[in-house]
Chains A and B, each alone.
Chain A
Amino acid sequence: MATTLGGSPTRLSFSSSSVLHTLSHKIPFPVVLLQRPFSSPASSVSRAIRLPNSRLSGDPGLRRSFFVRSGLQSGPEETASQTYDFDLFTIGAGSGGVRASRFAANYGASVAVCELPFSTISSETAGGVGGTCVLRGCVPKKLLVYSSKYSHDFDESRGFGWNHEAEPKHDWSTLMANKNAELQRLTGIYKNILKNANVKLIEGRGKIVDPHTIDVDGKIYSARHILIAVGGRPFILDIPGKEYAIDSDIALDLPSKPEKIAIVGGGYIAVEFAGIFNGLKSDVHMFIRQQKVLRGFDEEVRDFVTEQMSLRGIEFHSEETPQAILKSVDGTLSLKTNKGTFDGFSHVMFATGRRPNTKNLGLEEVGVKLSKNGAIVVDEYSQTSVDSIWAIGDVTDRVNLTPVALMEGGAFAKTVFNSEPTKPDYRAVPSAVFSQPPMGQVGLTEEQATEEYGDIDVFTANFRPLKATLSGLPDRVFMKIIACANTNRVLGVHMCGDDAPEIVQGVAIAVKAGLTKADFDATIGIHPTAAEEFVTMRSPTRKIRKPSSPLDEDKTSSDVKSAAKV
């Protein structure tokens, strides 16, 4: 949702085009997600999407009857034998829960959803309709990114003839007030969406009692299906002084702007907040355990964004493991790491991963299987180890992004309440990092593509955008297309630079559709834009060919031939 949900209640209806057309290039996508930058760091780095649950595979007739049995169109005998308060009870009204509830209700199910009372800062007992994305994630974060980016705009504007007599000052409390007013508006809109979809909203903390029973603060409800969509919460490292640290919830709603902040962590949230506070002129220090930020992203892009962020004034401390936070008499904080102690911070922020909200939900008791890091284990249809209990979104720790939670919610509703077994499709899920400059990417990284395909062609562009030639700032743009050397299919696209998230969305359609590099080349550019570079990258920067193996002689010689041809 790009928007205020304002004037479009019509969007509640589901896709009108139900026929999925075959793609023009029918090459299967890899089903293995090698590295998943948007999953919580505690989970295994490489995990294949599991094969269909045995109950669901095999005889199509069987499969269908399974869904019919569990869906709305239950046989009369079953309906007679047991009645429930609701066809679906959803725990958690975040991205996934709201979507699944709405869609299920749209298919005719009677639906209730429970959600914790509203607060900008989440806890065991506080949350709010809209969930992380709307209240503590994507939306407030992007609003802060907008706000912080202006300082860069001011810098740029000088080269274009604008002058500010005094350096513009930022008033943090104005930003917070306006942001919070917007969050209030949005949570109201989400409540209305649920109401208009005839979903019953129950305020309180949900807990599972048995496979068909939910307890919300002492009140008991029964449901044919239970959907767990409780999301995740920030994880704070267990080190001495951790009580002095803030997490992303708090960072989005601070009473005053940090003067000097240590951000611990190298994931996308850490990188985004570094950009925010740097733009608002805080002194920003990033502490990362690894050598580089953004593990799981394309290596070249990782280096590029680090360099660009450094140029804007962010200080990186790599291979530093935090050991303690100390508070000194003057009230400032010090961060002690394996390498030394760094003083004078007004704030220390932990952006050290998130954990699924699965504690005290009654899951273990009812037999819902959890993974080591507490995520709910589900099959490809989001069904848990208990037949009537399903789970979607961050709580399953698959790809932790709002549009993915939405997709999972939509697929769940279709599967269970529309007799249309639908698996969420994780191929070519695009994503963005709202760092400054921002990143957008879809498909495989160069490293993944090399590992999976062996022979790839890599096209890169690294240029100074038109705006920077006038502003005189050291801003650059990096773009990359990775194509399979044998099929010419585009496997991955990466960009770091202004508007990257907006630019990559359209490109993602092409990548998802399995288009080739030649298809990109056949497209005419829009001049003058940065995006046109994606359709004018004519010659590969490098060709990666898997080392020839003596056992594979035939193949090798043909590889050599094809390489020589170009």
Chain B
Amino acid sequence: MSRKMLIDGEGGHPADEEQYDFDLFVIGAGSGGVRASRTSAGYGAKVAICELPFHPISSEVIGGVGGTCVIRGCVPKKILVYGASFRGEFEDAKNFGWELNDEVGFNWKKLLHNKTQEIVRLNGIYKRLLTNAGVTMLEGEGKVVDPHVVEVTQPDGSKKQYKARHILIATGSRAQRVNIPGKELAITSDEALSLEELPKHVVILGGGYIAVEFASIWRGMGATVDLFYRKELPLRGFDGEMRAVVARNLEGRGIRLHPGTNLSELTKTEEGIRVLTDKGDALTADVVLFATGRSPNTKRLNLEAVGVETDRAGAIKVDEYSRTNVPSIWAVGDVTNRMNLTPVALMEGTCFSKTVFGGQPTKPDYGHIPCAVFSIPPLSVVGLSEEEAVEQGKNDVLVFTSTFTPMKNTISGRQEKTIMKLVVDSETDKVLGASMCGPDAPEIMQGIAVALKCGATKAQLDSTVGIHPSAAEEFVTMRSLTRRVTAGGKPKTNL
């Protein structure tokens, strides 16, 4: 795409300007939308953003400034993970000399209250961020009426139309339920983050990171947890070896895993929800969570009418600059279903502003994006998994792994190992991927990600002096090769 095409004001004659209420109208004030609005306003654009009224549990007409991440995703989830982690800490404390009752009291309502308070505070902060950036905030549901017009249905039902030179769709996604009898008895992650009562027995369906995280959360809070997923291991798409470690750790913490199993029916009974599996087993739970994927929020946006193309999953199709097939309409974040993470939505939002209002056409760079699964203990990765490296690489792949007992566990007695892995190109010595499962993995991986992003070699990792005693130092002291895998994909024999 030529630079000229992208910069703002194609045909931006002064006369034109009168036509538009705004240079940019953003639908959806989540991670991507807020970032794009702020940075666009920073470039001098006149910006408006619309967002649904606030509530922790989302719907077609409920949302809130801050979006999924702040209200129903990363933040409240991490708060609950913190809360749940204490149980393990208390267990570990004993061998360090602390005398604790076997049953430490846990008040879910208090945690819920404090969490909600924090979410409300953050919601306020995000609103202020927008106001301070000079962005006009509108409450209501946005719809695209034509390539330059957005209609906002306000909470009172009244409608208003706004003309904008550019429209950015950043409406995110929502949890999806599987279609089985009794599905309405199940909850999604939205409700799971705001349950009135702490469940005693939970059934979770799904093998993705959200399923795994909630399993850890509820287990940490003392519930019995049954986790059902279709594959042999949870966390499809992650490094195979790491998936196995996560599964082992979940089991080690008392979560009951049911690989290769689906749910076939839910029924309400006196005791709770009766859950039938496709293997013919039955169990009763008081909460059933579907963590079975999310779908883009595109249904009510009127996109077909305007001609914005979506894919089969309902995600908006965009080019490398986040532009849809309608030149004045753009989309960022989960609604485009590229890589559904907050920092990615932020990156896309920033690149959009740079491209459209900063005179600097900028493509988001999807290389070496690190991410984390906040299971207990957590997993974090950057770059390629061993499988991806073998599949994509032209050269042989060197695999370095280290499995060790974290120092804390030598005293606590917890039977849980930390595992780290580096995948290296045998010819270039470039580190293609790093992964870790163990305490602090997400914090540790961030710095590793900086190095990998810039093409660090294994030799550069080796030449870095360790910080002792830390877990992270293992990443710079992995001296001996665990295995070499040929480009074809088979471990090399010694010939």
Contacts and interface: CB of A to CB of B under 8 A. Distances in A.
B82 A467 contact: yes
A466 B78 contact: yes
Interface in A488-518: 499, 501-510, 512-513, 515
A2 B460 contact: no
Interface stretch (B58-66, B244-252, B268-276, B438-446): B438-446
B290 interface: no
18 contacts: A6-B404, A8-B404, A17-B429, A143-B96, A156-B86, A157-B86, A160-B82, A162-B86, A469-B121, A503-B444, A506-B445, A506-B475, A508-B476, A513-B456, A515-B454, A524-B347, A526-B446, A529-B372
Interface in A108-161: 133, 138-139, 142-143, 146-147, 150, 153, 156-157, 159-161
B101 to A, nearest CB: 7
A52 B152 CA distance: 74
The 6 closest A-B pairs by CB, nearest first: A506-B447, A505-B472, A531-B446, A161-B111, A3-B404, A175-B97
Interface stretch (A20-28, A264-272, A448-456): A20-28
Interface of B: 69, 74-75, 78-79, 82-83, 86, 89-90, 93, 95-101, 104-112, 114-115, 118, 121, 341-344, 346-347, 365, 368-372, 380, 398, 402-408, 410-411, 418, 429, 440, 442-451, 453-477, 479-481
Given A163-B105, A501-B470, A502-B472, A430 B455 contact: no
Interface stretch (A83-91, A166-174, A192-200, A345-353): A166-174
Given A160-B114, A170-B98, A470-B82, A508 B453 contact: no
A150 B450 contact: no
Contacts of B429: 17, 19, 21
A509 B372 CA distance: 20
A16 B481 contact: yes
B74 A509 contact: no
Given A17-B457, A432-B467, A432-B470, 14 more contacts: A8-B402, A17-B459, A21-B429, A24-B454, A139-B407, A163-B104, A407-B465, A467-B82, A504-B467, A509-B450, A522-B365, A526-B372, A531-B444, A531-B445
A508 B459 contact: no
B74 A528 contact: yes
A156 B111 CA distance: 12
B404 A4 contact: yes
Contact of B476 (A20, A160, A505, A522): A505
A54 interface: no
A2 to B, nearest CB: 4
A315 interface: no
A524 B443 CA distance: 13
Contacts of A10: 480
Contacts of A185: 410
A171 B99 contact: yes
A301 interface: no
A522 B343 CA distance: 12
Interface in A415-472: 425, 428-432, 440, 466-467, 469-470
Given A157-B86, A499-B440, A513 B472 contact: no
Contact of A161 (B107, B457, B463, B470): B107
Contacts of A139: 407, 469
A16 B459 CA distance: 9
A470 B98 contact: no
Given A515-B450, A528-B75, A534-B447, A16 B480 contact: yes
Contacts of B403: 7-8
A402 interface: yes
For the residues of B in contact with A, the DSSP-based class is helix
B453 A519 contact: yes
Given A150-B98, A182-B410, A138 B447 contact: no
B450 A520 contact: yes
B96 A502 contact: no
Contact of A15 (B99, B115, B450, B479): B479
Contacts of A138: 468-469
Contacts of B460: 21, 23, 509, 512-513
Nearest to A467: B82
A501 B467 contact: yes
B78 A175 contact: no
Interface of A: 1-4, 6-8, 10-11, 13-17, 19-21, 23-24, 133, 138-139, 142-143, 146-147, 150, 153, 156-157, 159-166, 168-175, 178-179, 182, 185, 401-404, 406-407, 425, 428-432, 440, 466-467, 469-470, 499, 501-510, 512-513, 515, 519-520, 522-532, 534-535
Given A432-B470, A527-B341, A506 B457 contact: no
Nearest to A490: B450
A133 B468 contact: yes
A1 B468 contact: yes
B446 A510 contact: no
Nearest to A410: B479
A506 B451 contact: yes
Contacts of A165: 101, 105
A153 to B, nearest CB: 5
A406 B95 CA distance: 31
Contacts of B344: 524
A163 B480 CA distance: 46
Given A2-B418, A146-B411, A510 B468 contact: no
A170 B99 CA distance: 6
A161 B411 contact: no
B99 A168 contact: yes
Contacts of A404: 465
B464 A512 contact: yes
A470 B448 contact: no
B463 A512 contact: yes
A234 B58 CA distance: 61
A529 B470 contact: no
Contact of A535 (B75, B408, B450, B470): B450
Contacts of A17: 429, 457-459, 462
A519 B451 CA distance: 9
A513 B464 CA distance: 8
B448 A509 contact: yes
B78 A21 contact: no
B343 A440 contact: no
Contacts of A469: 118, 121
A253 to B, nearest CB: 14
A2 B98 contact: no
B100 A6 contact: no
B447 A175 contact: no
B228 to A, nearest CB: 27
Contacts of B448: 506, 509
A521 B410 CA distance: 38
Contacts of A430: 464-467
A155 to B, nearest CB: 11
Contacts of A146: 96, 407-408, 411
A530 B97 contact: no
A406 B477 CA distance: 11
Nearest to B347: A524
Contacts of B445: 506, 526, 531
Nearest to B339: A524
A507 B453 contact: no
A7 B476 CA distance: 18
Contacts of A168: 93, 98-100
Contacts of B469: 1-2, 138-139, 142, 402
Given A170-B99, A505-B444, A162 B411 contact: no
Contacts of B365: 522
B411 A525 contact: no
B450 A510 contact: yes
B358 to A, nearest CB: 14
**Most interface-central of A467, A524, A529 (chain B CB within 10 A):** A524
